[in-house]
Amino acid sequence: MNKVVSDADAAIRDIEDGMTLMLGGFGMCGIPEKSILALVKKGVKNLTCISNNAGVDDFGIGLLLHQHQVKKMISSYVGENAEFERQLLTGELDVELIPQGTLATRCMAAGYGMPAIFTPAGIGTEVAEGKEVRNFNGKDYLMEMAFNADFAIVKAWKGDRLGNLVYRSTARNFNPVMAMAGKVTIAEVEELVEPGELDPDNIHTPGIYVHRIFKGENYEKRIEQRTVRKRDN
């Protein structure tokens, strides 16, 4: 078995106009930056993107927004992007804002083969409008449906040709739950290793969930908020 493809272009070759994509990452941490660049190059349009954030103007999903490739964003927080705001205000872009835990758990449900979840997040707010509410043990919960995505695109630190993945630090975030949730899952990795090199006890995403894997070159890994402390001399 070999799931390795040559590069990002090969990995996204059959992503078409109008498809729904999941894109891993939190802010710009752990985003599949090579696949996003390939999507920009390919020019597919009318995409629905499920991603916690929407990148910044010149990096991440922001690049897709600039080319007007995104029809709808499903996110929990979208603040850092002027072009995004412009398209939202002119009605070019549709945005569905959902609670971050709900976003993660709707991915998880898809990956666990469950049609829906019940969460208290959003009870009593506009998020609950039109949704089924169930009371369990005296507390109200919203029914939220599992996502249905044509492709999930994730970024891992290391992976092998069977698709087993290991993430690094908080670049893990949404990547493992999205990797489980796509009809087709694409993983881009910093290091592609041979089967056996990753410790089976420390695999974060088992390869069964991953359909295509490639090694990305020269990751930019942009930092959104560079915060540091001074050394005491």
Partner 1 sequence: MLDKQGIAKRIAKEIKDGYYVNLGIGIPTLVANYIPDDVDVILQSENGLLGMGPFPFEGEEDADTINAGKQTITKLPGSAVFDSAMSFGMIRAKKVNLTILGAMEVSENGDIANWKIPGKMVKGMGGAMDLVASADNIIVAMQHVNKAGESKLLPKCTLPLTGINCVKKIVTELAVLDVLPGGGFKLLERAPGISVEEIIKATAGKLIIEGDIPEMVI
Closest CA to 112 of 160, 68, 147, 74: 147
Q: Looking only at residues 145 through 164 of this chain, which bind partner 1 when binding is defined by CB under 8 A?
A: 157
Among residues 122, 159, 182, 216, which is the contact residue for partner 1, using CB under 8 A?
Answer: 122
Q: Judged by CB under 8 A, which of 4, 40, 88, 145 binds partner 1?
A: 88
What is the nearest approach in angstroms of partner 1 to the Cβ of residue 190?
10
Q: Which stretch, 5-13, 130-138, 191-199, 225-233, contacts partner 1 (CB under 8 A)? A: 225-233
- Amino acid making up residue 18: G
Give the Å distances, CA to CA, from 163 to 21, 107, 122, 148, 154. 19, 19, 36, 21, 12
Query: Nearer to partner 1 by C-beta: 42 or 222?
Result: 222
Residue 85 C-beta: closest distance to partner 1, Å: 5
Task: List Cβ neighbours of 67 (8 Å cut-off, separation of 6 or more).
Answer: 40, 43
CB 152, min distance to partner 1, A: 13
Given a contact cutoff of 8 angstroms between Cβ atoms, the answer to whether 74 and 103 are in contact is yes
Q: Torsion over CA of 89, 55, 172 and 167, rounded to 10 degrees?
A: 150
DSSP annotation of 196 reads T
| Minimum distance of partner 1 from residue 107's CB (angstroms) | 7
CB atoms within 10 A of CB 71: 16
Q: Is 51 in the site for partner 1 (CB under 8 A)?
A: no
Q: Is 233 in the site for partner 1 (CB under 8 A)?
A: no
177 binds partner 1 per the rule CB under 8 A: yes
- Of 59, 29, 28, 50, which Cα lies nearest the Cα of 171? 29
Q: Is residue 28 within 8 Å of 222, Cβ to Cβ?
A: yes
Tokens (6 digits) for 114: 């469950």
The answer to whether residue 26 forms part of the interface with partner 1 (CB under 8 A) is: yes
168 scored as a contact of partner 1 (CB under 8 A): yes
User: Nearer Cβ to partner 1, position 29 or 153?
Assistant: 29
Binder among 164, 175, 213, 215 for partner 1 (CB under 8 A)? 175
CA 96 to chain centre: 15
Among 10, 97, 114, 143, binds partner 1 (CB under 8 A): 97
Asked if residue 186 lies in contact with residue 211, where contact means CB atoms within 8 angstroms, the answer is yes
Among 174, 189, 211, 215, binds partner 1 (CB under 8 A): 174
> Minimum distance from CB of 213 to partner 1 (Å)?
19
By the criterion CB under 8 A, which residues form the site for partner 1? 26-30, 52, 75-79, 85, 88-89, 97, 99-105, 107-108, 119-127, 157, 167-177, 204, 221-231
